[in-house]
Amino acid sequence: MRHTLPIAPQFYVTAPQACPYLDKRRERKLFTALQGEHANTLNNTLSKQGFRRSQNVLYRPSCADCSACLSARIRVADFKPSRSQRRCLNRNKVLEREATSPWATEEQYELFRRYLDSRHADGGMADMDIFEFAAMIEETPVKSRVIEYWDRSGDSPELIATCLTDVLDDGLSMVYSFYDPDWARNSLGSYIILDHVRIAQEAGLPYVYLGYWVPGSPKMGYKAGFGALEIFRGGAWQSMTDAEDYDEDTHPLSVDPIAEQVARISLPDTRAPKE
User: Quick check: is 275 in a domain?
Assistant: no
Question: Distance between CA 150 and CA 166 in Å, rounded?
Answer: 20
Confidence of residue 137 (pLDDT cuts 50, 70, 90): very high
* Count of domains for the chain: 2
pLDDT, residue 87, reads 97
DSSP 60-99: EE--SS----EEEEEEGGG----HHHHHHHHHTTTEEEEE
Q: Estimate the crossing angle of helix 130-138 against helix 106-119, to 10 degrees.
A: 110
CATH code of 142's domain: 3.40.630.30
pLDDT, residue 224, reads 87
In this structure, the answer to whether residues 76 and 185 fall within a common structural domain is yes
In this structure, the answer to whether residues 63 and 112 fall within a common structural domain is no
Q: What is the pLDDT of residues 203-262, one digit of tens each?
A: 999 999 999 998 888 777 788 899 999 999 888 999 988 777 777 666 666 678 888 899
Mean pLDDT for the stretch of residues 8-30: 90
User: Quick check: is 263 in a domain?
Assistant: yes
In this structure, the answer to whether residues 149 and 257 fall within a common structural domain is no
pLDDT, residue 269, reads 77
Helix (H, G, I), strand (E, B) or coil at 232: strand
User: Quick check: is 234 in a domain?
Assistant: yes
Domain, as residue range, for 200:
72-245
In this structure, the answer to whether residues 113 and 223 fall within a common structural domain is yes
Of the listed ranges 114-118, 185-189, 213-217, the one predicted with least confidence:
213-217
Q: How far is CA 76 from CA 48, 57, 80, 211, 247, in A?
A: 15, 27, 9, 16, 26
Of the listed ranges 12-21, 43-52, 217-226, the one predicted with least confidence:
217-226
- 114 by Cβ neighbours in 10 Å (0-12 / 13-18 / 19+) ranks as middle
In this structure, the answer to whether residues 171 and 93 fall within a common structural domain is yes
In this structure, the answer to whether residues 222 and 168 fall within a common structural domain is yes
Confidence of residue 273 (pLDDT cuts 50, 70, 90): very low
pLDDT, residue 243, reads 76
Q: pTM of the full predicted structure? A: 0.90
Question: Distance between CA 41 and CA 59 in Å, rounded?
Answer: 15
In this structure, the answer to whether residues 85 and 26 fall within a common structural domain is no
In this structure, the answer to whether residues 60 and 169 fall within a common structural domain is no
In this structure, the answer to whether residues 161 and 206 fall within a common structural domain is yes
- Beta strand 207-213 with 171-179 is parallel
pLDDT, residue 270, reads 61
* pLDDT over 60 (residue 171): yes
Mean pLDDT for the stretch of residues 58-66: 90
Q: What is the pLDDT of residues 72-111, one digit of tens each?
A: 999 999 999 999 999 999 999 999 999 999 999 999 999 9
Mean predicted lDDT score pLDDT of the chain: 89
Q: What residues does 236 pair with on adjacent strands?
A: 233
Mean pLDDT for the stretch of residues 25-53: 93
- Looking at the chain, the whole-number percentage of residues with pLDDT higher than 70 is 90
In this structure, the answer to whether residues 21 and 61 fall within a common structural domain is yes
Mean pLDDT for the stretch of residues 145-164: 95
In this structure, the answer to whether residues 192 and 99 fall within a common structural domain is yes
In this structure, the answer to whether residues 60 and 92 fall within a common structural domain is no
Residue partners of 266: CB distance under 8 A and separation at least 6: 45, 49
User: Quick check: is 192 in a domain?
Assistant: yes
